[in-house]
C-alpha cells in the first residue's frame, strides 16, 4: 500500500509549542519522516511511504526590526527555519512554501490598532496537493497531518471523485477534530508527545 503524507507544517508546529508549554518537552527538531514511519503498522504490513509533502512559510518579517511590531523581531528565526527545512529535505521530504501577509487589526474594545501577520495559501495548497496525488494515482492512501477543519470541503470532494483512494488523518498532539475523524476511510492516529521526543534529529 503506497501512502502519501500531506503535512500542515504550522498546525504541527503549533502542537509542538503546546507540548512544550504543557509538559516542558522541547521537540522542535522533529524528524518528520521517522515519526510518520513509526505509524505505518496502522495501515497494514505492506504499507510504505510513497511521498511526504510538508507545507510551511518563512517568517521574513521577523528578521528586520519593525517599530510597529517589535515583539516579532528575531533576526535569526528564518536561518533556523531554513536549517530545519534542509534537515527535512535530506530525509526525502518535499517542502512547499506559502507566504505571510501583513494586516492591520483594529481592536473593537480599546480601538487601538496592531499588526498581525497571517499565513496565506497553505490550506489551498494542501487541498491542491490532495487532488494532485489523486489525479496522478500517486498513492493508494493519503494521510493528512493536521487538525484544521478548513480542509473538510477539499477532502469531501476528493472522496467523491476518487472513491478508490483512502483518505485519513494523523492528528498532531492536542489537535484531534471529530469533524475530520468522521471523514476518514482508514484508521486515524493521534500523535503522542512522547513520540515527538523519540523522533528528533541528532544534535549537529
- Can you list the alpha helix ranges (DSSP code H) found in 46-146? 77-90, 122-135
State how far the Cα of 87 lies from the Cα of 23, in Å rounded to an integer: 25
Residue of 122 and 51 predicted with greater confidence = 51
The tens digit of pLDDT for each residue in 94-153 reads 999 875 555 556 777 776 766 564 665 678 889 999 999 999 999 999 999 999 999 999
What is the domain partition of the chain in residue ranges?
Answer: 2-198
Nearest Cα to Cα of residue 135 among 159, 154, 112, 162: 162
Indicate if the pLDDT at residue 53 is higher than 50. yes
pLDDT at 23 over 70: yes
> Does residue 19 have a pLDDT over 80?
yes
Across 60-64, 144-148, 186-190, the highest mean pLDDT is recorded for: 144-148
Confidence of residue 177 (pLDDT cuts 50, 70, 90): very high
* 174-179 contacts, C-beta under 8 A, 24 or more apart: 174/15, 174/18, 174/19, 174/22, 175/11, 175/14, 175/15, 175/146, 175/147, 176/147, 177/147, 177/148, 177/149, 179/149, 179/152
What pLDDT does 85 receive? 92
Lowest model confidence (mean pLDDT) among 57-61, 114-118, 163-167: 114-118
CATH T-level fold of 2-198: Rossmann fold (3.40.50)
Q: What is the pLDDT of residue 117?
A: 47
pTM value is 0.83
Report helix, strand and coil shares of the chain as percent, to nearest 5. Answer: 40, 25, 35
The contacts of residue 6 (CB under 8 Å, 6+ apart) are: 53, 55, 126, 129, 130, 133, 142, 143, 144, 145
Strand order in the sheet with 48-56: 94-97, 48-56, 2-8, 141-145, 166-171, 189-190
Pairing of strands 94-97, 141-145: unpaired
Give the whole-angstrom CA distance, residue 76 versus residue 86.
16
pLDDT for position 112: 73
Amino acid at each position: 500500500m503506497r501512502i502519501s503524507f500531506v503535512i500542515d507544517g504550522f498546525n504541527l508546529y503549533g502542537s509542538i509549542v503546546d507540548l512544550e508549554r504543557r509538559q516542558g518537552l522541547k521537540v522542535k527538531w522533529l524528524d518528520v519522516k521517522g515519526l510518520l514511519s513509526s505509524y505505518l503498522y496502522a495501515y497494514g504490513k505492506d504499507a510504505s511511504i510513497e511521498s511526504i509533502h510538508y507545507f510551511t512559510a518563512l517568517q521574513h518579517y521577523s528578521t528586520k526590526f519593525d517599530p510597529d511590531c517589535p515583539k516579532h523581531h528575531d533576526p535569526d528565526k528564518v536561518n533556523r527555519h531554513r536549517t530545519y527545512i534542509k534537515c527535512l529535505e535530506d530525509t526525502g521530504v518535499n517542502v512547499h512554501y506559502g507566504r505571510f501577509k501583513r494586516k492591520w487589526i483594529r481592536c473593537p474594545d480599546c480601538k487601538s490598532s496592531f499588526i498581525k501577520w497571517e499565513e496565506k495559501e497553505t490550506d489551498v495548497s494542501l487541498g491542491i496537493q490532495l487532488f494532485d496525488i489523486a489525479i496522478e494515482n500517486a498513492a493508494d492512501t493519503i494521510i493528512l497531518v493536521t487538525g484544521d477543519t478548513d480542509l473538510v470541503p477539499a477532502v469531501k470532494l476528493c472522496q467523491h471523485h476518487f472513491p478508490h483512494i483512502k483518505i485519513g488523518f494523523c492528528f498532531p498532539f492536542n489537535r484531534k477534530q471529530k469533524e475530520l475523524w468522521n471523514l476518514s476511510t482508514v484508521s486515524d492516529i493521534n500523535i503522542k508527545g512522547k513520540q515527538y521526543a523519540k523522533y528528533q534529529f541528532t544534535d549537529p
